[in-house]
Amino acid sequence: MALNVLAFVGSLRQGSYNRLLLKAAMELQPVGLEIENFDIAPIPVYNEDVREMGFPPVVETFREKIRAADALLVVTPEYNYSMPGVLKNAIDWASRPPDQPFNDKPAAIMGASGSLLGTVRAQYDLRRSCVFLNMHLVNKPEIMITQAHNKFDASGRLMDETTRKLIAELLVNLAAWTRRLKVSNTDKSN
């Protein structure tokens, strides 16, 4: 049975390098892994007064999809040395009680930037949030694409073969990690 991976991108721009990066991951997904993209653009700005009245429908759908997924793939640009506000906002909404759906969820992170450091700082901050939410991150390989404008062709296809191999490896590792955690959790419940 295929593993269902829910992916979401921390950039709202349709032609962003990070959306193109997710597109490349979907092309490179190994047999037995199915990546579904969830668009976080419609998620409203977090407001506790609104949440007290109930989750907005888009947030409830996001939470349900996270809960139902076997694993997550988060693709993030870096804005001002950190993860984008829209990504943090989506995570904040989804993680509110009751029953925050990130708990015990396997996940992988990747990102692309035009800078020389890629998305190092954004991924560091995202990893800290994932630790608090008790997610289980794949550590290797790290996908922090630098100078993204040189890695994609005019049609948006990822052309850099080294990066393509790393993405394929990350997805294989995410699948193996997810299966390993499922077995471990099954053993604990028996």
**The pLDDT value given to residue 189:** 63
pTM of the model: 0.95
CB 96 within 8 A of CB 59: no
Are 156 and 149 within 8 A, CB to CB?
A: no
CA 145/CA 18 separation, integer angstroms: 10
For residue 40, give its domain range.
Answer: 3-189
**pLDDT-flagged residues of the chain (< 70):** 186-190
Supply the CATH number for residue 106's domain.
Answer: 3.40.50.360
Count the domains in the chain: 1
119 close to 76: Cβ distance less than 8 angstroms = yes
Distance CA 86, CA 10 (A): 6
- pLDDT digit string, tens, across residues 82-135: 999 999 999 999 999 999 999 999 999 999 999 988 999 999 999 999 999 999
Query: CA dihedral defined by 76, 14, 4, 186, rounded to 10 degrees?
Result: 20
Distance CA 51, CA 162 (A): 44
pLDDT, position 188: 67
